[in-house]
Chain A
C-alpha cells in the first residue's frame, strides 16, 4: 500500500518536472523574448557540456564544495560552542540571542562588502561570509534545543551521579541533537547562499565565479545552467545528506516513525 502510494507520488513529481521542461521549451519556441536573454533547455544543456569539456565545471563545483566544507565546519564549531554557552547560561542567552537574531535578518550577501574590506580578494573572505551567514542560525537552534530539554533527563543524569563537567557531552548535547541537526541543516543552506554570493565577486573559480563570467560574456545559457547546477547541489546536500541524517536521528529519538 505505502510503497504504491510512494510510487504514485514519484510519477506525479516526474510529470511535473517534464511539464516545466515542456513549458520552458514552448515559451522559447514562441519567441516573445529574444534567445540571447532566454535560452532553451537544450542550449543550457549544451553550454554546460561545453563548460564540462573545457574543464571549468568540475573544478568549479569542487572549489565551491571545498570552500563550503571549510567554512561550514568553522561555522558549525563556532555555532555549537556559542549555542552551548547560551543554552546553559540564561544571561548569556539573553544577550547573544537578540544579537544573533539581528545578524540573521541581514541578507547573507550583505556580508560580502565588509569581507572585501577586511580580507581583500582572498578565499578567507569567502570563509568569513559563510561563517557569518550560518553560525548564528546554528547557535540559535542549539540553544533553543538545550533550553527545551525535558528536565527529567537532567534530573536523571544528576541522580545517576553525572559530574557537572561531563553533563554537556553525555546528556545536554545528545538530548538537544534533534534540534541541533535541524539548525545545522538551516545553517548549511544559509552558508551556501552566502558562499555563492561571495564567489560572484571575489573568486577566480567556483560556481559563483561561473555565474559572474556568464554575465560578463552576455551568455544567458551559462548563467541559467550554473543556476540549475547550484540548485541541484544545494538540494542534493540539503535533502539527501542533512535530510537523511536528520531523519535517522528523529527515528532513534522516537520523534517520528520510519517511512516506507
Chain B
C-alpha cells in the first residue's frame, strides 16, 4: 500500500505543520542578550584603558577576557542554556565563537587529547575560520592592488 501524495507536496505539508517561532520575540531576546554581552565588553575595554592600555591594546584585552568568560561558562554548562533562550544574541558575539570551540573540545575529550579533542575541536568553528581567513586574504590582495593604481 502506498500514499499517493507527490514528494514535494508532502514535504510542504510536513514543513507547514511545524509551529514557527515568533520572529519579533526572537529578535528582542537576541537584541537584549547581545546588547548585554557587548556592554560587558565595553566596560572591560574602558577598564583596560583606565589602567594604562592603549585603545588598540584594550580591544585585545577585551577579546581575551570575553573568550575566557565564555569558555568558563561553557565548561560549567551555562552557555547552552543561555543560547537556547537568546539564539543569535549569544551566538554572534565573540563569546559564541568561543563556545563553538570549547563545546566540541569537551565533547570529544573522551576520544583522546589528539585523536579526539585535537581533531574535533573545530568541527563547528572550522568553516568560520576557513572562509573568514580566505575572505581576509582576498580583501588584503584587493586592497594592495587598489593601492597600486
Bind each other: no
List chain B positions with a Cβ less than 8 A from chain A: none
List chain A positions with a Cβ less than 8 A from chain B: none
